[in-house]
Amino acid sequence: MRFKDVFSIIGPSMIGPSSSHTAGAVRLGRVARELLGAMPKEADIVFYGSFAATYAGHGTDVAVVAGLLRFGTDDARIPDSLRLAAEVGMKVTFRAGAGAAVHPNTLSVELRSDDRFCRMTGCSIGGGNIEVIEASGFDLRFTADYPTMIVFHGDRTGVLADITRLLSGANVNIGYMDVDRKGRLGEAATAVETDGGLSDDLLEEIGRLPGVTGISYIDLNGGAEA
């Protein structure tokens, strides 16, 4: 099911004017920000399809940047996000990408901080709902409707078993998983959607597992603004 619950239909509460171009874009920006795990110094945003044609009119540009600042979809500061980003030293560029997109409303974000880099591609599928289709070079699909952990790890026997064992030990139910690897025994990444939120301790424990090289945690309903 692309749409999971009643609040993906009635909702979100949001600043207008477009749920796909504004609210969905805020959420996509927020996912990218959580993937990076830090305040970006540089953000390069590329719009495709209908996004490319109309991003300025719908405020899609200010919406993505609001997400990078960790604003919610109904934050009254969204229209001011470009100024607020400049104030915290974030350098933002926008451009329209060429070529066919997988979905009419698609965008890619590349983020850099002093020591981190991440790339994310996602689609805004209507009513503020999103589908991420790429995270840092991996074909990972998830909606961020639920708390979502992205684990970067080596493609080794038992890594997933270690992760799921820790989750089950903490009584966390997995709703959905997606795994991709760049090659056999190469780099791999796993997206795990869970029914409940994950504690910092649990995330640290998973991050220390053998073979795990990085971890990001996305909880669009929780977490504080920064």
Among residues 30 and 153, whose Cβ is nearest to another protein? Answer: 30
CB distance 107 to 46 below 8 Å:
yes
CB of 53 to another protein, least distance (A): 5
Q: Which residues pair with 16 in a beta bridge?
A: none
Kindly state the tokens that stand for 26: 């805020």
**CA–CA distance, 10 with 6 (Å, rounded to integer):** 6
Among residues 11 and 211, whose Cβ is nearest to another protein? Answer: 11
Nearest to 66 by CA among 57, 75, 56, 53: 75
CB of 65 to another protein, least distance (A): 8
CB of 215 to another protein, least distance (A): 23
Among residues 62 and 159, whose Cβ is nearest to another protein? Answer: 62
Among residues 21 and 70, whose Cβ is nearest to another protein? Answer: 21
Among residues 175 and 223, whose Cβ is nearest to another protein? Answer: 175
CB of 148 to another protein, least distance (A): 16
CB of 16 to another protein, least distance (A): 3
Three-state secondary-structure class, residue 146: coil
The reply to whether omega before 40 is within 30° of 0 (cis) is no
Main-chain dihedrals φ then ψ at residue 35, nearest 5 degrees: -60, -40
Footprint of another protein (CB under 8 A): 1-20, 22-23, 44, 49-50, 53-54, 56-59, 62, 74, 76, 78-79, 82-83, 85-86, 91-96, 103-105, 124-128, 195-196
Q: What angle do CA 5, 57, 52 make, to 5 degrees?
A: 75
**CA–CA distance, 217 with 197 (Å, rounded to integer):** 10
Kindly state the tokens that stand for 178: 């997606």
CB of 24 to another protein, least distance (A): 9
CB distance 76 to 38 below 8 Å:
no
Among residues 34 and 61, whose Cβ is nearest to another protein? Answer: 61
